[in-house]
Copies of this chain bind each other. A is one copy, B any other.
Amino acid sequence: MSLTTNPIKILLVDDHQLFNDGLKSLLSTEQNLEIVGQVYESRNVLYEIQRLNPQLIFLDINLPEQNGIELSKIILKDFQNVKIIFLTMYADEQMLKEAKKLEVHGYILKNSSKKELLLGIETVMNGKQYFDAKIHKSAQDESNKDDLSKKFALTEREKEIIAYVKAGLDSYQIADKMSLSYLTIKTHRRNIHFKLGTTSTPELIRFANENSL
C-alpha cells in the first residue's frame, strides 16, 4: 500500500542546523516520507510552506526570532490543510497547555526515538492528535512543578501579572495591557505577595527568576 501511495511531504523547521540536517538524514531512509524542505530561520517558514506545499511540518518551538507558538497560530489559520507537530525539548506543562490550546496536531519531544517519531507522523496523518507519551510522564514530573505551583497556588492571572512585572511594567501599564482597572492589578499583586511570601517588587522578581515562574 505504501508503494502505491505518494510519500508524505514534510517540512522541517529548526534553527539548529545539525539537528535539522540530522533529522533529514535519519528520515531519508523512509520510503513513504519525503523531506521537501528545511527551514532554519522562522522568517522563511511561511514562504516555504507556500512554495513547497508540505502536508506536515515539524516545528521547533524555541526559534530565535518568531517562536514556534506564534508561527503555528499563523500557519493554522492560513494553511488549514497542513498538519503541525511541535518537535521540542520542552517537556513542561505550560508549553503543552499552550500547544493543546492552539489545537496543534502533535507534540513530540526531542528525546524521542525515530520509531516514536514515525508513530507520531502516522497518527497525525490519520487525522488524530499525537502527544508524546513522555509528556504525560513529565506531566507527572510536573507534579514537582505543580508542587511549587500548588504550594504557591498562583492563578493564571497572577502568573500573567508576574510576567509583566518582570518585564518592568508598573501597575498602570499592566492594567492598560490587560484592559483592567489599576486597582485590580493592585489586588492581584497583593495576593501574589501573600502567596509567595514576598513584600516588594524586587523581591518578587528575584523569587520569580529563581523559581522560573
Tell me the A residues contacting B by CB distance below 8 Å.
15-19, 21-26, 28, 40, 87, 89, 109-114, 117, 165-170, 198, 200-207, 209
Cβ–Cβ < 8 Å partners of A18 in chain B: 19, 22-23, 26, 87, 110-114, 117
Instruction: Give complex CA distance A204, B166 in Å.
Output: 10
Q: Are B170 and A200 in contact (CB under 8 A)?
A: yes
Q: Are B17 and A22 in contact (CB under 8 A)?
A: no
Smallest Cβ distance from A11 to chain B, in angstroms? 16
Instruction: Give complex CA distance A21, B27 in Å.
Output: 10
Instruction: Give complex CA distance A200, B23 in Å.
Output: 46
Q: Are B168 and A202 in contact (CB under 8 A)?
A: yes
Cβ–Cβ < 8 Å partners of A17 in chain B: 110-113
Cβ–Cβ < 8 Å partners of A40 in chain B: 111
Q: How many copies of the polypeptide does the oligomer hold?
A: 2
Q: Are B114 and A21 in contact (CB under 8 A)?
A: yes
Instruction: Give complex CA distance A167, B170 in Å.
Output: 19
**Other A-B pairs, 20, CB within 8 Å; known A18-B22, A25-B25, A25-B28:** A16-B19, A16-B110, A18-B23, A18-B26, A18-B110, A18-B112, A18-B113, A18-B114, A19-B110, A21-B26, A21-B114, A22-B23, A25-B26, A40-B111, A168-B202, A168-B204, A168-B205, A202-B202, A202-B205, A209-B209
Q: Are B26 and A169 in contact (CB under 8 A)?
A: no
Instruction: Give complex CA distance A41, B89 in Å.
Output: 15
Q: Which residue of B lies closest to A110 (CB)?
A: B16
Instruction: Give complex CA distance A209, B209 in Å.
Output: 10
Q: Which residue of B lies closest to A210 (CB)?
A: B168
Smallest Cβ distance from A134 to chain B, in angstroms? 10
